Amino acid sequence: MNRQQVFVRKKEEFDVVSRSLCEKIHNALHINIQCVVYTLYEVEGLSKEDVEYFQYEILGDNITDTITHTIDTDKQSILAYTFLAGHFDKRAYYALQAGKLILESSSDFSVRSSTVIVFDTILSQEILHKIRSFLINPVDTRVRELEFEDMLKR
């Protein structure tokens, strides 16, 4: 079965979310960093051609977004998190519903979303732990790795 990861981020001139997050971290934790926020979509059950169409029609916009299948994490710290099992992932749900409307030949596929934050430098474990504790609510989200996760693992 075909499984792909799609990373979507706003182009710099449209990236209000990343700037806002850096400012929030600076104001709350007094840590001055730069970061970029990606939405990671894991798509399972679509052909490569359908994923190409899906990612530009549903997951992102060519004008305002940068869409890739990998991100560069060399010499940078990352923090990735996703919803716990049983919690509603509205971003993935609506992407799936829209995909089922436009991809008539592929109705049996699944989508999951996560948030990935790439920091501009390698952060110490102490600082990364402070940021993780500040951003992640353990009641509904969990830290995850960037490797593709089984849809049932959630």
Q: Could you read off the pLDDT of 32-80 as tens digits, one per residue?
A: 999 999 999 999 999 899 999 999 999 999 999 999 999 988 889 999 9
Residue among 23, 137, 112, 15 at smallest CA distance from 59: 112
Residues 116, 41: contact at Cβ < 8 Å? no
d(CA 112, CA 64): 22
Residue 106 lies in a domain: yes
Degrees (nearest 5) of the Cα angle 68, 72, 77? Answer: 125
Q: How big is the chain, counted in residues?
A: 154
Tens of pLDDT along 92-148?
A: 999 999 999 998 777 789 999 999 999 999 999 999 999 999 999 999 999 999 887
Residue 71 lies in a domain: yes
Structural domain including 125 reads: 3-143
Q: What are phi and psi of 139, to 5 degrees?
A: -75, -35
- Token readout for 22 is 């850096």
Residue 151 lies in a domain: no
Residue 30 lies in a domain: yes
pTM over 0.85: yes
Residue 150 lies in a domain: no
Q: Which residues, 6+ apart, have CB-to-CB distance to 52 below 8 Å? A: none
The total number of structural domains that make up the chain: 1
Residue 27 lies in a domain: yes
Residue 154 lies in a domain: no
d(CA 78, CA 36): 10
